[in-house]
Amino acid sequence: NFTVRVDYSLGSRHRIFGRESRTNTPNLSPNVIDVGTALTVLTQHSVGIGDTIMLTPATTLVLSAGLTRYDLVSTKQEVDLIKLGFAASWVQSLQQRKLAQTTNPDMVTVGASGGSRFDRGNQYSFLANMSHFRGRQNMKWGFQTQIRQNNSLGSNAPSGAFAFTRAFTQGP
């Protein structure tokens, strides 16, 4: 992880800056019952530029723009479902081999509630502010906008979800 910032004065009334940062953050989230612990890695690359201009001794204009690109990969361990007794033909039809989520009214839910997940996105931002000082008064106006693009691919219960009522487990 690192961040670099450069500030430069173009004179007594004009100042610019640039910033770049990169982060790579792994996170291991273990489950109480190991049904495929998730390993999540978030990678971000951010670039920003800014310009501060003193128009008059009482009026300042600030402009800045930025781009952040991120990549989030959350993978869960595959489980050998054939060793657990599931039919090979069914196991081979799955996109991800996780332990299926299984519930009944008399027990805790067991199995993976979600599979591996992949997110990629961009965030663009732009800011323009004007400040004006007059005596003891300060007025500030401007705008800020952000555009976010998010592309996600995830799965909810990739090996299925099984729910059994008491009629299935307690007999006639």
Position 96: which residue type?
Answer: Q
- H/E stretch holding 164 reads none
What's the CA gap between 47 and 20, in Å, rounded? 5
C-beta atoms surrounding 36 within 10 Å: 22
Distance, in Å, from the CA atom of 163 to the CA atom of 161, rounded to the nearest integer, reads 7
Percent of the chain with pLDDT over 70: 91
Instruction: Tell me the pLDDT tens digit for each residue of 105-120.
Output: 777 777 766 777 788 9
Residue 27 has pLDDT above 90, yes or no: no
Whole-number pLDDT of residue 168: 76
Other Cβ atoms closer than 10 A to 99 = 21
pLDDT digits (tens, 9 = 90+) for 55-108: 999 999 999 999 999 998 887 777 788 888 888 998 888 878 877 777 877 777
The predicted pLDDT at position 156 comes to 75
Task: Note if the pTM is more than 0.85.
Answer: no
- DSSP letters, 54-117, are EEETTEEEEEEEEEEEEEEEEEE----TTTTT--HHHHHT-SS--PPEEE-TTS--BS-SB--E
